[in-house]
C-alpha cells in the first residue's frame, strides 16, 4: 500500500498527460492581487485564482488550443485554451487561459506569465517565476523562484526541490532534497505540506501555515531516491496488461466478429443496463455457486467450481471488452472501421485504464466498475439481438433518401 501511495504523483501526471484531450480551459476565475499574503490566500477561498484583468493585455491573442513541437519553443502569446508543447528548451512568457502540458529538457515559466489552469510538466529542469493555478510536475530539479506563485496546490516529484516562492494552498512532494530560504517574508505554503523523502528537511519556522507531514522513503544503495525505478515499475505493469489485452482482442476479432461490430452500440445505448446486468451476473454467479454447493451437500462441487472458473475467465477479459466497446464507438465516429484501427484504439483504452488503476483507492473503484460493465457487455451480447444496436447506423442514410425525394 505504501508503494502505491508513493506512485500517486507520478501516475497522476502521466494520466493527465495522456487524457489531455479531455481537459478544457475554464473561464471561472477569481482575482488575486499581486501583493496578497499567505494568510489572505489561506483564509479567503476566493483569492486562490488568478485574474487576467490584472495583467496588461499586450500579447498576440490565440482563440484556440496551441500545439507546438520544436527544439526551442517560446510561448509569448495569450492562448484562450490549452497549450501542448514538446521541445528541448521551452519558455512561457505569455498567458494561457487553460492547462499547459509540457515535455521538455528545460522549462522556464517567466516573470509576469500566467497559467490560469494547471501546469503539467515533465522536464529534468523546471523553473517557475510566473503565476500558476495548480502544478503537477515530474523533474530532476524543480525551482519555484522568489517571485513565483502557485495559487492553489503543488504536486511535484523531483530529485531536488527549492521552494523560494509562494504556494497558496497545499504542497504534496516526492523528493530527495527539499530546501527553503533561511528567511523570506514572501516564502510560504498557505496550506499543508506533505512530503516523502529519504531524510527530513530543515523547514524554517513560519514557512508552513498548516500541518507538516513527513514520510520516510527507503533509498537505494547509493543513498539516493530513484524515481526512475517507480516509473519503470508502473510501465511494466501497464504494458503487461496491454499485451494480455492484445491477445484477447485478436482472438475476439477472429472468433466473435459479430460482437466486434455491435460492441460500440452496446456501450452507447446499453451501458446503464449492462452495469446492472454485470452486477447481477457477478454476485449471482458467486451466490449461486455457493448455494448450489450447499444444497447438493457437496455433490455439485464440480459444477460450482466450473461456474466460478467461468466467472474468473470472463472477469479477466471484461476490461478488454469494455476497452473494445469504447474503441468501436470511437472508430464509428471517426469512420475508421478496419480491424487494425479498432485493435489500436482498444490497446490505447487499455493503456489509459491501467494508468488510472495505479492510483491508490480511486484506481480500485474504477477498475471494479469497468470490469462489471465489461461483464455486462458480454452478457448483453447474449441477451439482446443484433437489431437492437443497429438503429443509428441506418438512420442517417434513410433520412438522406427521404430528403432527396
108 contacts 130 by C-beta, under 8 angstroms: no
Q: Count CA atoms within 13 Å of residue 198 on its CB side.
A: 15
Could you give the C-alpha distances from 232 to 11, 38, 170, 316, 337, in angstroms and in order? 11, 38, 28, 24, 34
Neighbouring CB atoms inside 10 A of 261's CB total 17
Of the candidates 221, 214, 230, 245, the one whose C-alpha atom is nearest the C-alpha of residue 326 is 245
pLDDT bracket for residue 116 (50, 70, 90) = very high
Contact between 359 and 11 (Cβ < 8 Å): yes
pLDDT band at 237 (very low <50, low <70, confident <90, very high): confident
pLDDT tens digit sequence for 338-356: 888 888 888 888 888 888 8
Q: Which residues of 159-171 are buried (b: 16+ CB within 10 A; e: fewer)?
A: bebbbbbbbbbbb
Instruction: Supply 116's cell numbers.
Output: 490560469
Residue of higher predicted confidence among 305 and 257? 305
Average pLDDT, the chain: 77
* Backbone phi, psi, residue 5, to 5°: -65, -40
Residue with cell 494480455: 244
Identify the DSSP state of 35.
T
Does the pLDDT at position 215 exceed 70?
yes
Task: Say how far apart CA 8 and CA 224 lie, in whole Å.
Answer: 19
Closest C-alpha to 192, from 209, 206, 178:
209
What is the rounded CA–CA span in Å between residue 100 and residue 83?
5
**pLDDT score of 203 more than 80:** yes
What DSSP string runs through 225-271? Answer: --HHHHHHHHHHHHHHHHHHHHHHHHHHHHH-HHHHHHHHHHHHHHH
Q: What percent of the chain has pLDDT above 70?
A: 74
pLDDT value for 339: 80
Q: How confident is the model at residue 193 (pLDDT cuts 50, 70, 90)?
A: very high
Q: Is the pTM above the cut of 0.75? A: no
Q: How many CB atoms lie within 10 A of CB 324?
A: 31
Quote the CA–CA distance of 110 and 127 in Å, as a whole number: 8
Q: Where is pLDDT greater, at 216 or 74?
A: 74
Across 157-173, average pLDDT: 90
What is the per-residue pLDDT for 360? 64
- Say whether pLDDT at 56 is over 90: no
**What pLDDT does residue 229 have?**
62
Mean pLDDT of 124-145: 92
Tracing cell 475554464 back to the chain, one arrives at 26
Over 60: is that where the pLDDT of 275 sits? yes
Average pLDDT, stretch 263-287? 86
User: Which value, in Å, is the radius of gyration of the alpha carbons in the chain?
Assistant: 26
Q: Which of the two residues, 182 and 373, has the higher pLDDT score?
A: 373
Let me know: does 160 contact 143? Beta carbons within 8 Å.
no
DSSP structural state of residue 375: H
Q: List the beta bridge partners of residue 318.
A: none
Amino acid at each position: 500500500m505504501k508503494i502505491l501511495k508513493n506512485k500517486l504523483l507520478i501516475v497522476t501526471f502521466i494520466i493527465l498527460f495522456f487524457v489531455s484531450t479531455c481537459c478544457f480551459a475554464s473561464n471561472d476565475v477569481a482575482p488575486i492581487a499581486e501583493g496578497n499574503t499567505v494568510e489572505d490566500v489561506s483564509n479567503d477561498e476566493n483569492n486562490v485564482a488568478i485574474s487576467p484583468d490584472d495583467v496588461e493585455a499586450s500579447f498576440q491573442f490565440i482563440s484556440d488550443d496551441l500545439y507546438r513541437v520544436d527544439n526551442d519553443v517560446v510561448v509569448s502569446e495569450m492562448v484562450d485554451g490549452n497549450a501542448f508543447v514538446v521541445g528541448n528548451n521551452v519558455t512561457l512568457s505569455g498567458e494561457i487561459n487553460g492547462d499547459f502540458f509540457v515535455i521538455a529538457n528545460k522549462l522556464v515559466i517567466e516573470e509576469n506569465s500566467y497559467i490560469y489552469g494547471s501546469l503539467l510538466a515533465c522536464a529534468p529542469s523546471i523553473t517557475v517565476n510566473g503565476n500558476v493555478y495548480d502544478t503537477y510536475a515530474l523533474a530532476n530539479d524543480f525551482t519555484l523562484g522568489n517571485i513565483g506563485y502557485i495559487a492553489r496546490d503543488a504536486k511535484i516529484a523531483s530529485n531536488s526541490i527549492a521552494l523560494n516562492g509562494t504556494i497558496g494552498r497545499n504542497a504534496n512532494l516526492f523528493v530527495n532534497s527539499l530546501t527553503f530560504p533561511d528567511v523570506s517574508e514572501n516564502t510560504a505554503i498557505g496550506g499543508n505540506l506533505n512530503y516523502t523523502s529519504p531524510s527530513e528537511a530543515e523547514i524554517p519556522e513560519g514557512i508552513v501555515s498548516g500541518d507538516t507531514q513527513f514520510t520516510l522513503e527507503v533509498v537505494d544503495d547509493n543513498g539516493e531516491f530513484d524515481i526512475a525505478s517507480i516509473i519503470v515499475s508502473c510501465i511494466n505493469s501497464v504494458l503487461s496488461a496491454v499485451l494480455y489485452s492484445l491477445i484477447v482482442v485478436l482472438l475476439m476479432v477472429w472468433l466473435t466478429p459479430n460482437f466486434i461490430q455491435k460492441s460500440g452500440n452496446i456501450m452507447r445505448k446499453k451501458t446503464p443496463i449492462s452495469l446492472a446486468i454485470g452486477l447481477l451476473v457477478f454476485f449471482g454467479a458467486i451466490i449461486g455457486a455457493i448455494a448450489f454447493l450447499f444444497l447438493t451437500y457437496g455433490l455439485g462441487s464440480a459444477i460450482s467450481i466450473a461456474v466460478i472458473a467461468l466467472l474468473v475467465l470472463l472477469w479477466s477479459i471484461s476490461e478488454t471488452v469494455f476497452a473494445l466497446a469504447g474503441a468501436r464507438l470511437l472508430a464509428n465516429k471517426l469512420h475508421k472501421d478496419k480491424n487494425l484501427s479498432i485493435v489500436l484504439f482498444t490497446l490505447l483504452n487499455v493503456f489509459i485504464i491501467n494508468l488510472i488503476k495505479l492510483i491508490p483507492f480511486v484506481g480500485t473503484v474504477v477498475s471494479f466498475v469497468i470490469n462489471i460493465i465489461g461483464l455486462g457487455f458480454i452478457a448483453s451480447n447474449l441477451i439482446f439481438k443484433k437489431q437492437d444496436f443497429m438503429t443509428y447506423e441506418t438512420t442517417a442514410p434513410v433520412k438522406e433518401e427521404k430528403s432527396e425525394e
